[in-house]
Amino acid sequence: MSALASALPDFPWDLLEPAKAKAAAHPGGIVDLSVGTPVDPVPALIRDALADASDAPGYPLTAGTPALRAAIAGWLARAGGASGRLGVLPTIGSKELVAWLPTLLGVRPGDVVAIPSVCYPTYEVGALLAGATVARSDSLTALGPDRRIKLLWINSPSNPTGKVLPVEHLRKVVSWARERGVTVVSDECYLALGWETRPVSVLDDRVTDGDYTGVIAVHSLSKRSNLAGYRAGFLGGDPALIAGLLEVRKHAGMIVPAPVQAAMIAALGDEEHVDRQRERYSARRDALRTALTKAGFEISHSEAGLYLWATRSEDCWQTVDDLAERGILAAPGLFYGPAAAQHVRVALTATDERVAAAVARLT
Ligand SMILES: Cc1ncc(COP(=O)(O)O)c(C=O)c1O
């Protein structure tokens, strides 16, 4: 194995295979709620835009076409509340960006990347790929005066907890980071999925006052527009930082395919399909939440995003195993950090028929 591969943790999903096999043996078939992969159709207007742009013999622009750049900036102004002059950049989905951002920004061995105590595992992977050290914390005070911190990840709405960071908290994070010259990167790929609260972008004028220095927001169309299969993400924020990222990504060939760029323009220009998808998830969420509560689970946070963060105050593997007996697969909290040993993550991404099957098995 290469030195780089061996610096990374074991791929956690392999550990879920025994529970998956158990759930699959259920006579009614598995209800797989372990992964947040969209199952509903790609909206027709996006598929049409992709098809119309399929005659694409030349190399696409790493920076994105002018039309795509305008679509991203327009959407960040409308949905993100950002009225200033933003740098923007399309990415090949957001996972590659999350994994390579510390390296692309020049984070090096000896530097520290701060990540939430319970979070999407790729933040840690990205720090390790850069040879940096990870500090897990939700508290700026606990991070203290460590001058080695170069990059701070936040994620609101959070995967897996569904927690949303309010304006005041985001303001504090930005000013803390600016005082120390730390880059703040806010992963906002679930921004469109607020249930009990309306999530706020770090780029919102109420947070930054229109000054994006040292701030980058990461977005994805995977969840908002059912485009996980297209690999469509983008960044908005500090124009100087994003210009630097563009330079490196041009050299490295990190280019979004031209038909996907066209599909992204269509997706960003339409909110109707987003409303329809939000309604589907809302109904599934209500059904699963009620059933889990009746089955003795407590739901923590989960005010936004694509998951229910559930606990029965026992070891998460015990819960995963019990749910697997009922043919339901959930993700153990430990995949997201050592502080989450008693939670499981239940995704809302299953068809109505599979969600109904899960509800019947829980109640
Ligand atoms: C918090 C978070 N960030 C980024 C991603 C990556 O999404 P994608 O690569 O599909 O844009 C995910 C996917 O589940 C996620 O949960």
State the distance from the centre of ligand 1 to the C-alpha of 329, rounded, in angstroms: 20
Q: What is the pLDDT of residue 10?
A: 83
State the distance from the centre of ligand 1 to the C-alpha of 95, rounded, in angstroms: 5
DSSP secondary structure string for all residues of 139-196: -HHHHTT-TTEEEEEEESSPTTT-----HHHHHHHHHHHHHHTPEEEEE-TTTT-BSS
Q: What is the pLDDT of residue 12?
A: 85
State the distance from the centre of ligand 1 to the C-alpha of 241, rounded, in angstroms: 21
Q: What is the pLDDT of residue 145?
A: 86
Nearest-atom index, ligand 1, CA of 97: 9
- Using a 6 Å cutoff on CB, does residue 95 contact ligand 1? yes
Tokens matching residue 326: 């009922």
State the distance from the centre of ligand 1 to the C-alpha of 51, rounded, in angstroms: 25
Is the pTM here over 0.75, yes or no? yes
Three-state secondary structure call for residue 19: helix
- Using a 6 Å cutoff on CB, does residue 221 contact ligand 1? no
> Cα dihedral angle (54, 57, 58, 64), rounded to 10 degrees?
10
State the distance from the centre of ligand 1 to the C-alpha of 145, rounded, in angstroms: 30
Nearest-atom index, ligand 1, CA of 232: 11
State the distance from the centre of ligand 1 to the C-alpha of 193, rounded, in angstroms: 14
- Using a 6 Å cutoff on CB, does residue 222 contact ligand 1? yes
State the distance from the centre of ligand 1 to the C-alpha of 27, rounded, in angstroms: 32
- Using a 6 Å cutoff on CB, does residue 311 contact ligand 1? no
Identify the residue whose C-alpha is closest to ligand 1 atom 12.
95
Strand order of the sheet with strand 298-300? 298-300, 307-311, 343-347, 331-332
pLDDT values of the chain reduced to their tens digit, one per residue, 363 residues? 788 899 898 888 899 999 999 999 999 999 999 999 999 999 999 999 999 999 999 999 999 999 999 999 999 999 999 999 999 999 999 999 999 999 999 999 999 999 999 999 999 999 999 999 999 999 999 998 899 999 999 999 999 999 999 999 999 999 999 999 999 999 999 999 999 999 999 999 999 999 999 999 999 999 999 999 999 999 999 999 999 999 999 999 999 999 999 999 999 999 999 999 999 999 999 999 999 999 999 999 999 999 999 999 999 999 999 999 999 999 999 999 999 999 999 999 999 999 999 999 999
State the distance from the centre of ligand 1 to the C-alpha of 173, rounded, in angstroms: 22
Nearest-atom index, ligand 1, CA of 36: 14
Which of 35, 101, 120 gets mutated to test ligand 1 (max ligand atoms within 8 A of its CB)?
120
Q: What is the pLDDT of residues 263-310, one digit of tens each?
A: 999 999 999 999 999 999 999 999 999 999 999 999 999 999 999 999
- If we measure between CA atoms, which residue out of 304, 337, 347 comes closest to residue 156? 304
- If we measure between CA atoms, which residue out of 78, 64, 19, 7 comes closest to residue 327? 19
Q: What is the pLDDT of residue 253?
A: 98
Nearest-atom index, ligand 1, CA of 155: 1
Q: Residue 102, preceding bond cis, omega within 30 degrees?
A: no
Calculate the CA 116 to chain-centre distance.
Answer: 13
- Using a 6 Å cutoff on CB, does residue 336 contact ligand 1? no
Q: What is the pLDDT of residues 329-352, one digit of tens each?
A: 999 999 999 999 999 999 999 999
Identify the residue whose C-alpha is closest to ligand 1 atom 16.
159
**232 to 53, 184, 218, 223, 262: CA distances (angstroms):** 15, 22, 11, 10, 10
Rounded-to-integer distance, Cα 253 and Cα 250, Å: 5
- Using a 6 Å cutoff on CB, does residue 331 contact ligand 1? no
Tokens matching residue 308: 């229910």
Q: What is the pLDDT of residue 44?
A: 98
Strand partners, 347: 307
